[in-house]
Amino acid sequence: MIQKFFILLLLVPSLIFAHGGEDHGDAKKETSKFSTYFSSETASDVYEVLVKYPPLQPGKPSVLKLFISDFNTNTPLDSANLQISVASNPNIKLNIRRIDKGLYEVSGIFSEKKTYNLTININSKLGPDLLLISNIEVGKELEKPAAIDLHAISHWYTSNWFFGIIGLLLGLFLMFFIMKKTNRKVAVSIIILFCLLPTATYNIATAHNGEEHGGGDKTGGYLSNNLIIEKETQFLFGILTQKIQTGNLSQS
């Protein structure tokens, strides 16, 4: 009896069930990460301007972040004279406050729920320029990421636990059947063979890469292979750019 129990323990490792790492604490998982702000940008041959803002409510105080940099080098603008107005609606007063090098805060109240355009007049050591920031959307809310209810789409008979228990019972039945029908040496050899089989379970993974299948709604490409570095990080670590120019090829 003790020998049979020992053989049973040898067989159990070949029937170990790998769980796959599901999270049972939260039944819903987000399908993709969405942005937490709106943005609009424009550029000329001299300046690059980026506006970032949270959801703006009509008739309430609104605050926007304004990033101004040298278009050619991405150097934040140290000091400049700025004049900002709302195109086609000059009655809206906007206040400008310098926060840091290249970073300004624009505050005001937008009366209606609609899309506004901002006219920015910049004058610095790089020279004067006039730029238009389009599509400042007031009253628009951020899109919420879709969630998948894992409990709603999974069934008990598709669970790995179900197959693991069935496999364990079949293994026990097979072991006792072999012990009765064959001699002890053959049974031990078969059990050792089972123990040498791979015990890992494999999960099928699909690389989606953000492509569309069929006629589903387009989400604007939230999945991307591009690395996005926020403008605040660029200014903080002094990330600069340089134009690629055609050089002379000298033969060695």
Instruction: Going residue by residue through the chain, which has 252 residues, state the pLDDT in tens, using 9 for 90 and above.
Output: 445 544 554 444 444 444 444 444 444 444 445 678 899 999 999 999 999 999 999 999 999 999 999 999 999 988 889 999 999 888 899 999 999 999 999 999 999 999 999 999 999 999 999 999 999 999 999 887 665 555 555 566 667 777 778 777 777 777 666 666 666 666 666 666 666 555 544 444 444 444 444 444 444 444 445 567 787 778 776 777 777 767 665 555
Is 226 inside a domain boundary?
no
Are 9 and 57 within one domain? no
Q: What is the 3-state secondary structure (H, E, C) of 58-93?
A: CCCEEEEEEEEEECCCCCECCCCEEEEEECCCCCCC
CATH code for position 57: 2.60.40.1230
Q: How many structural domains does the chain have?
A: 2
Q: Give the angle 92-96-98 at the CA atoms, nearest 5°.
A: 170
Is 244 inside a domain boundary?
no
Total Cβ atoms within 10 A of residue 85 = 16
Are 27 and 75 within one domain? no
Are 156 and 92 within one domain? no
Which of 103, 137, 171 terminates a domain? The answer is 137
Is 248 inside a domain boundary?
no
* pTM score: 0.54
| C-beta separation of 113 from 160 below 8 A | no
Are 26 and 71 within one domain? no
Domain, as residue range, for 57 = 38-137
Are 86 and 56 within one domain? yes
Are 117 and 52 within one domain? yes
Is 227 inside a domain boundary?
no
Is 231 inside a domain boundary?
no
